[in-house]
Structure 1
Amino acid sequence: MSSRRLPGGDIPAARSGVPPRSGAAESAAHRAIAHLLHLLAEEAPTEAFDRLSRCMLDPAVSTDRDLALTALARAGRVRELLAHRKHREKETQALYESARDLASLRDGEQVLEAILQRTRQLLGTDAAYLALVDPDTGEAYMRLTLGTVTTPIQSVRQRPGQGIGGRIIRTGRPYATANYQQDRSLDRDPSVTDAVAEDGIVGIIGAPLRLGRDVVGALFGANRYERAFEPSEVALLCSLADHAAIVIENVRLFERAERTAAELRAANAQLRVQGQALERGTSAHGQLMRTVLRRGDLAELIDAIGGILEGAVALVDPNGQVVASTAAGPGAGLPAVGTGWESPATTARPGAAHRLDGAADDATERWAVPVQAGPDSFGHLVFAAGTPLLEADVRILERSAQTAALLLLMERQAAVAEQHVRGEVIADLLAEREPRWDSFSRRARRVSGIDFDVPHSVLVLTAAGVSRRRLLRAAADYAATRRGLASEHAGKVVLLLPEVDGATAVRAVKPQLDRMTGGTVTCGVAGPAASAAAVRRLHRSADRCHRLLLALGRAGQAAGVEDLGVIGLVLSGTSREQLEQVLAETLGPIVRYDEQHGTPLVETLWVFFAAGQNPRAAARSLQVHPNTVYQRLERVDAVLGHRTWREPQGALTMQMALQLHRVVEQVPIEVLVGS
């Protein structure tokens, strides 16, 4: 009896054509199944299972054929399950490692490259690429590629629903095709199709990148040969895409958090700087206010400002004159008197500092800020330093200007109160009833400090376009710096200036008051005189000059009697009777004729002489025919009864009479002649 050996033990071989015994066959089948289980436990290679299968199915071997077939089928199923589980374990481990590696990255570009590298590794594809959704257009654009060999594929864009990328983004489901070019279910863009063909890509698989319900992109694997992707591969790519979407969003959130943190750090730094600036500004403001409250003078305040800002400071009045400056003075870069410095242009914000332009080779930085209290301007605070002025220091400079305005306003109020007391002296001096001069002079010296033994000039002032209160304030400010006195009397401002002659007053005072008030001042001047009684008489002369300026159409000018020309000389040495006689004899008949007949002979004479005794020029001024002028002049001859008024001597007398007539119409004769 012959026998054959099965792997794992001896099984008696059946004789050819003779069926084996039942017990022996069953024993051999059990040994084969035991060996089969051993191979399964040892995870033996496929070749070992193939050898066992051939032996168990060999008719020469005494085995139970049905039992053997059942065992082999079940063993094959077990092998498939074990292989599938092992494959899933490998995929799970790979996904875990991918998630771990991706989560450790913070740089966005590194994250994307790692995603593509892991896709190629897990799926075994030739290329991988990642597309993101453009939030503005909704199109899918190629963000990054790995394994591609041509440029066009790197710039592909697809509308929703178009191509594989557009289809995935629109449906939110994965898609795989074994041959992209032959897939008729796709709506392809020719330019995208050409780019794919140029790169040699054939099989493509893609999965959506999801964040909640939103699809933010798609992850792709691609081969340069036709490949049918298994469902397990699609599931693997979907899992990797889910990981990738989360990591991409985490990177975005991390970058946003970093930006927010950087912004917060910058804001904290800015707050710290602002806090320091506020503390410095508060300290500076407190120091300046202490100077004001202890009634420090302007020079002390200017020195304090210069010490705080570490530079040279000056207060420049509206006339461009430096009123007070730091010890360094104009030599430290400040504009000096007469250098042509002008006030800076009006800024958008009231009270704002303004940087002044300097020479191209000048390293000194200069700033100016207006010093004003309400509508009143005291000039500008000017600062100069060799280093740039910080924003916080600019605010301190602006506060310093406000403090200077407060100090000047307090000084002005004190001066106003003092001027009010001293103004009572002017009221007594110019009262209708003449005071007792001995007692008045003593009281004036005691109350106001005015010594009438010192020569004083008198100025009577009005201003067009400016309130009398503003003019009085300007005159008081001017007087305070020159030991003078200003007050209001009879609706006009009266200014007394010691040790100033009339000519100087005419030349210097009016321009200053024009600038200080912003208006046009008319100024009658008389003096000087060195006694209270003489000053009282000077006031009447100055008031008469003021009236004459207005009557002669010379408003906005300054003049003394000697500045009025011939008419001033005539009036200064003429009595009331003489003046009335001149007017009655020279112009009286013509005035009466005009009153009786309603004719304009006086006006015609005035225009005739103003036109240089040219009848045609006078006609143009009067807007009448020249013959009318000739007829009126002949009527004047008839009314006067002579033509001597046309001759040089008579013409001079007539012109003088016309001017006196015009003045008398506005100024009473007793005021003109002083009696």
Structure 2
Amino acid sequence: MTTHTESSPTTDEPVDVLGSLIQLLADEAPAAEFDALERRARATTGTERALLVRAVDHARQVAGVLAHRERRERGMQALYETARDLTSLRDVDEVLTAIVHRARRLLATDSTYIALVDEQTGDAYMRVTSGTITPAIRSVRQAPGCGIGGGVIQTGQPVATSNYLADPRIERDPAVAKAVGADGIISIAGAPMKLGHRVVGTLLAADRQERVFDQPEIAVLSSLAQHAAIVIENARLYDQVRGTTQNLRDVNDQLSARRQALELAGSAHERLLPLALTRADFDQLRTTLGEILGGVATLDIDGHGGAADGHAAVVPLRAGGHTYGRLLLDRPEPVTGAETRVLEGAAQTATLLLLMRHQASIAEQDLRRELVEDLLAAHEPDWESLQRRADRFEVLATDMLHVVVVLSARTPVPALLDAAGSVTANQGGLAGEHARQVVALLPVSDGGAGDTAREVAARLSHAIGTPVTAGGAGPAIGARAIRDLHQAAARCHTLLMSLGRDGHGAAIDELGVVGKVLWAVSPEQLHRMVARELGPLLDYDAKRSSSLLATVRSYFEQGQNPPAAARTLAIHINTLYQRLERIDQVLGGRHWREPPGAVDMQLALHVHGLMPARRLP
């Protein structure tokens, strides 16, 4: 813009004044230069003087109209840019900062700022500033009715002052007044940010000199304030929409997860239910569960599979307050809630299979026991029917050797019977109860009844935790022959108990002559017989540490042949004769060497040899 200095005191020509006037209009000169040109016009002479003064006045009015139009154009441009910002969905603080910058530039003020209403307290607090100097002004907070901002918020109308600290109309907060003074602010104008009838904040413009804000400036400030209010509302609506959208996403995710859980549960139900209905084995259950959940499933039936650590999931197998084991799943990924429910359903299926298997086992054991009872009953069974029943359980094969073992223990018969049923079933045999004794029928391929009796006694002793006595007989082929073995096995068992060999196993043929000639004899009878025949020798040997009993035993084992007995005992023949004479003296004669005394002596020796050392009389 060209600066026009006032002309010399000499009188200007009218044409010069008009030329300067046109130049001022063209240069958009300030009002002061129009005042100087008016003085020049008044200094002219002649009839043109009044015309020149009116021309300068009209030119001043035209300049004012042009300046007002320019301000309006700048304001419209600022509002347009602000409206464009509103549609850009930028950050709220970014848009509000752009508004205060435009207001400051448009109104040519030193600083501008936006204060918002605290919804909790109603106070006005600074949100964004432009052109402020001190930090205190940026943290100003004042109650409704205090200061320019508080007044605007309280009344909902624009408020302006040319001197904030001196204006008597303003109620000032001391802390705010101090911050205003520290920032050098003198004049302030504020316009409300309104949403309907509700004031949400205020847009303020401030100068560090006295200034009267005219109505057009207040209008521009109000327009920008309204745009700022729209920004705040848009931000609230945007947050609301975003929150609603997120809620919808969350609900959709939940519905999707629930749908997937239902699909997983439905698929698992369709695949697990047939396993229960068809009584599938546990391997099928583990394989199916591994395919459904993507991992390795393990069934720990007895619950002895170690700690649960290291497994993706562990679910107990429970029914009726009793735990039968655990179902374990191993895979790298953690198990979801829906998958846990599938595991729990699979655990119920496994428990059901386990219970059905247990019930089937009980029923099968009862049928197997009935088979033994019918085989050994007082009246002969229907042999064809019995064999068909045996074939159903794949026992008592007609081409296999079997032994019969009679069992007893110092425990209730049902407990021994249950243990015997398990042991014999694992060996392809049977166990049942007859005459209040447990009877086992076992197939054999190698060894005889004695080895089988000892093996069964050892296994059952370990199973029930108490010694088991087993008397055996056999082997034989065919149900009829097996039935006939029972009496011999029962006699063997009775003799073992009478001999004090409880907790041992033996076959009837291993008892020698005792097993052939003795039947229902009590332990007391056997001990009296041994004491009668061998008692004096046992007492003599015990007192003198001699070997008379061993000499008698060797004498009979060698067919009452003294030289052979001497060789067996590794002694001289004369020593043997001396011992025989000593035995005659101890026993009161030679009757023990001669019939029938020799028979009684040999039977006593045999019984004594079968008795355990701890039970010697």
Regarding TM over 0.5, the answer is yes
1:508 to 463, 471, 486: 463
Q: Is the 8 A contact 2:25 2:63 kept in 1?
A: no
Within 2, Cα distance between the matches of 1:484 and 1:138? 94
Mapped pair 1:140 → 2:124: yes
SS of residue matched to 1:168: helix
Pick closer, same or farther for the CA change 1:427–1:75 going to 2, 3 Å: farther
Within 2, Cα distance between the matches of 1:533 and 1:176? 128
Residue 158 of structure 2 corresponds to 174
Give the partner amino acid of 2:315: V
1:541-560 mapped onto 2 (5 Å cutoff)? none
Q: Is the 8 A contact 1:126 1:223 kept in 2?
A: yes
Q: Deviation per CA, 1:142-184: give whole Å up to 9, x if none.
A: 2222212222222222233333333333333332222222234
Give the partner amino acid of 1:436: H
SS of residue matched to 1:455: strand
Residue 115 of structure 2 corresponds to 131
Residue 378 of structure 1 corresponds to 324
1:327-366 mapped onto 2 (5 Å cutoff)? 335=305, 341-342=306-307, 356-358=308-310, 365-366=311-312
Q: Is the 8 A contact 2:187 2:207 kept in 1?
A: yes
1:208 to 188, 192, 209: 192
Q: Which moved more, 1:240-249 or 1:408-417?
A: 408-417
Within 1, Cα distance between the matches of 2:412 and 2:426? 19
Give the partner amino acid of 2:379: R
Deviation of 1:245 after TM superposition, in Å, equals 1.0
Q: Deviation per CA, 1:58-85: give whole Å up to 9, x if none.
A: 773179x7x9999998887777666545
Pick closer, same or farther for the CA change 1:488–1:128 going to 2, 3 Å: farther
Give the partner amino acid of 1:408: L
1:578-597 mapped onto 2 (5 Å cutoff)? none
Within 1, Cα distance between the matches of 2:162 and 2:24? 35
SS of residue matched to 1:226: coil
SS of residue matched to 1:149: coil
1:255-270 mapped onto 2 (5 Å cutoff)? 255-261=239-245, 264-265=248-249, 268=252
Pick closer, same or farther for the CA change 1:240–1:253 going to 2, 3 Å: same
Residue identity (%): 41
Within 1, Cα distance between the matches of 2:158 and 2:203? 9
Deviation of 1:243 after TM superposition, in Å, equals 0.6
Within 2, Cα distance between the matches of 1:395 and 1:417? 33
Pick closer, same or farther for the CA change 1:42–1:179 going to 2, 3 Å: closer
Mapped pair 1:455 → 2:385: no
Pick closer, same or farther for the CA change 1:366–1:265 going to 2, 3 Å: closer
Pick closer, same or farther for the CA change 1:256–1:426 going to 2, 3 Å: farther
Within 2, Cα distance between the matches of 1:283 and 1:393? 12
Taking structure 2 as the reference length, what is the TM-score of the superposition?
0.57
Within 2, Cα distance between the matches of 1:475 and 1:268? 62
Give the partner amino acid of 1:455: V
Pick closer, same or farther for the CA change 1:372–1:85 going to 2, 3 Å: same
Residue 61 of structure 1 corresponds to 47
Q: Is the 8 A contact 2:134 2:182 kept in 1?
A: yes
Q: What is the root-mean-square deviation in Å for CA atoms of aligned residues?
A: 5.5
1:434-445 mapped onto 2 (5 Å cutoff)? 435-436=378-379, 438-439=381-382, 445=390
Within 1, Cα distance between the matches of 2:423 and 2:121? 74
Give the partner amino acid of 1:173: Q
Q: Is the 8 A contact 2:13 2:44 kept in 1?
A: no
Q: Deviation per CA, 1:610-650: give whole Å up to 9, x if none.
A: xxxxxxxxxxxxxxxxxxxxxxxxxxxxxxxxxxxxxxxxx
Q: Is the 8 A contact 2:38 2:53 kept in 1?
A: no
Pick closer, same or farther for the CA change 1:148–1:56 going to 2, 3 Å: closer
Deviation of 1:237 after TM superposition, in Å, equals 1.4
SS of residue matched to 2:120: coil
SS of residue matched to 1:176: strand
Q: Which moved more, 1:274-283 or 1:90-99?
A: 274-283
Aligned length: 453
Mapped pair 1:164 → 2:148: yes
Q: Is the 8 A contact 1:460 1:524 kept in 2?
A: no
Pick closer, same or farther for the CA change 1:62–1:416 going to 2, 3 Å: same
Within 1, Cα distance between the matches of 2:282 and 2:483? 34
Mapped pair 1:235 → 2:178: no
Pick closer, same or farther for the CA change 1:115–1:165 going to 2, 3 Å: same
Residue 354 of structure 2 corresponds to 408
Pick closer, same or farther for the CA change 1:303–1:76 going to 2, 3 Å: closer
Give the partner amino acid of 1:202: I
1:253-652 mapped onto 2 (5 Å cutoff)? 253-261=237-245, 264-265=248-249, 268=252, 275=259, 279=263, 282-320=266-304, 335=305, 341-342=306-307, 356-358=308-310, 365-385=311-331, 387-391=332-336, 393-415=339-361, 417-418=363-364, 421=367, 435-436=378-379, 438-439=381-382, 445=390, 454-455=404-405, 457=407, 460=412, 501=456, 504-505=459-460, 507-509=462-464
Bigger Rg over Cα? 2
Pick closer, same or farther for the CA change 1:455–1:102 going to 2, 3 Å: same
Pick closer, same or farther for the CA change 1:152–1:428 going to 2, 3 Å: farther
Residue 536 of structure 2 corresponds to none
Deviation of 1:244 after TM superposition, in Å, equals 0.8
Within 1, Cα distance between the matches of 2:138 and 2:388? 103
Q: Is the 8 A contact 1:139 1:159 kept in 2?
A: yes
Q: Is the 8 A contact 1:479 1:495 kept in 2?
A: no
Pick closer, same or farther for the CA change 1:418–1:504 going to 2, 3 Å: closer
1:115 to 77, 89, 99: 99
Within 1, Cα distance between the matches of 2:419 and 2:40? 129
Give the partner amino acid of 1:400: A
Pick closer, same or farther for the CA change 1:50–1:156 going to 2, 3 Å: closer
Within 2, Cα distance between the matches of 1:401 and 1:215? 64
Within 1, Cα distance between the matches of 2:186 and 2:464? 100
Pick closer, same or farther for the CA change 1:280–1:52 going to 2, 3 Å: same
Deviation of 1:122 after TM superposition, in Å, equals 1.7
Q: Deviation per CA, 1:490-546: give whole Å up to 9, x if none.
A: xxxx99887785675465348xxxxxxxxxxxx99886777889999x99xxxxxxx
Give the partner amino acid of 2:115: A
2:209 to 214, 225, 238: 225
Give the partner amino acid of 2:47: V
Q: Which moved more, 1:80-89 or 1:246-255?
A: 80-89
User: Where does structure 1 lack aligned partners over 5 or more consecutive residues?
Assistant: 10-31, 321-334, 336-340, 343-355, 359-364, 464-471, 511-522, 540-559, 564-571, 576-675
Q: Is the 8 A contact 1:482 1:497 kept in 2?
A: no
Q: Which moved more, 1:302-311 or 1:90-99?
A: 302-311
SS of residue matched to 1:218: strand
Taking structure 1 as the reference length, what is the TM-score of the superposition?
0.52
Within 1, Cα distance between the matches of 2:463 and 2:133? 91
User: Where does structure 2 lack aligned partners over 5 or more consecutive residues?
Assistant: 1-11, 397-401, 443-454, 474-481, 491-500, 505-521, 526-617
Within 1, Cα distance between the matches of 2:160 and 2:471? 114
Pick closer, same or farther for the CA change 1:44–1:164 going to 2, 3 Å: closer
2:83 to 90, 93, 99: 99
SS of residue matched to 2:318: strand
SS of residue matched to 2:463: helix
Give the partner amino acid of 1:208: P
